[in-house]
Amino acid sequence: MKVVILAGGKGRRICSESTNIPKPLVEIGGIPIICHVMHYFETFGYHEFVIALGYQSEKVINTIEQYMQVRNRQEMLTTTGDRVINLSSKDSKWAVMLVETGSDTSTGGRIKRLEPFLDKESFFLAWCDGLSDIQLDKMATFHKNHGRLVTVAAVHPYSRFGVLELTGDRISGFQEKPRLNEQWINSGYFIVNPGAMQYITGDNDQWECAPVAKLIQNQQFMVWRHEDNWLCMDTVHDWEVLEELWASGSAFWNPEK
């Protein structure tokens, strides 16, 4: 399967405009986070990436080209005027297609614009800011067996706040931002069948809203439960946690760990 990565957002909570860095290029251990995501997919044999660009797309293009040490580069325009760049590397198996999908296009609209490049086949869909040790091969088998249009990997979130344990008016325990094992959230890792594209109407559709709601209503949305590690780089604090994991050799998403 091809891997679609959405890399067009502005990431305002972690990257203010003054930093002038698109969120996909924020580095962990000197490596852009989008490349960490791509390396993880590579460990399961997925080498073909289709990346939806938007905010500061030229910086994302230049950084990925430099990181890959590009051997071949081809550029073209689609019939709708979207710029498409195909890259291949001399040092890896990666084949990367970078597609301009508009600076203000919503997530669903970006996915829809990539439809001509996905060969009417199922594909992985991932955001560029979530790192995990999801067993992608097992998730793919689960998706194939249930026969529905979409599978999402669900993960346990961490509390943003310290949690108090109370006995009457007395505090009997305290946990600093524990993992909430009774709750499940969207990890940002999906497998999508071509039929799901009909649920997206245009550029303004946010994938997580109307399209997902309609898929759920039509019983076309399934969940793969991931009990192990997942972290999202949404804030500066999140970045600091990921940096510390990388520096200490505890990066659970690192294939060389």
Whether the Cβ atoms of residue 50 and residue 100 lie closer than 8 Å to each other: no
At residue 17, the pLDDT reads: 47
Please report the DSSP string for 204-220 in residue order: T--TTTHHHHHHHHTT-
pLDDT tens, N- to C-terminus, the chain (257 residues): 999 999 998 766 666 544 678 999 999 999 999 999 999 999 999 999 999 999 999 999 999 999 998 889 999 998 878 899 999 987 788 999 999 999 899 999 999 999 999 999 999 999 999 999 999 999 999 999 999 999 999 999 877 777 778 888 777 777 777 677 778 999 999 999 999 999 999 999 999 999 999 999 999 999 999 999 999 998 888 999 999 999 999 999 997 76
At residue 118, the pLDDT reads: 95
Tokens of 217: 């209503």
Domain 2-156+186-247 fold is Spore Coat Polysaccharide Biosynthesis Protein SpsA; Chain A (3.90.550)
Domain boundaries along the sequence of the chain: 2-156+186-247
Tokens of 159: 């509390």
4-13 per-position pLDDT tens digit? 999 998 766 6
Cβ neighbours of residue 21 under 8 Å, at least 6 residues apart?
Answer: 15, 59
At residue 18, the pLDDT reads: 42
Cβ neighbours of residue 122 under 8 Å, at least 6 residues apart?
Answer: 1, 143, 191, 192, 193, 194
At residue 257, the pLDDT reads: 64
State the pTM of this model. 0.90
Whether the Cβ atoms of residue 239 and residue 28 lie closer than 8 Å to each other: yes
Distance in angstroms (rounded) separating the CA atoms of residues 211 and 217: 10
How deeply is 168 buried, as exposed, middle or buried, from its count of CB atoms within 10 A (0-12, 13-18, 19+)? exposed
Give the CA radius of gyration of the chain: 19
135-163 per-position pLDDT tens digit? 999 999 999 999 999 999 999 987 777 77
Phi-psi region of 45 (alpha: psi -120 to 50; beta: other; left: phi over 0): left
CB atoms near residue 156 (< 10 Å): 19
Distance in angstroms (rounded) separating the CA atoms of residues 216 and 19: 38
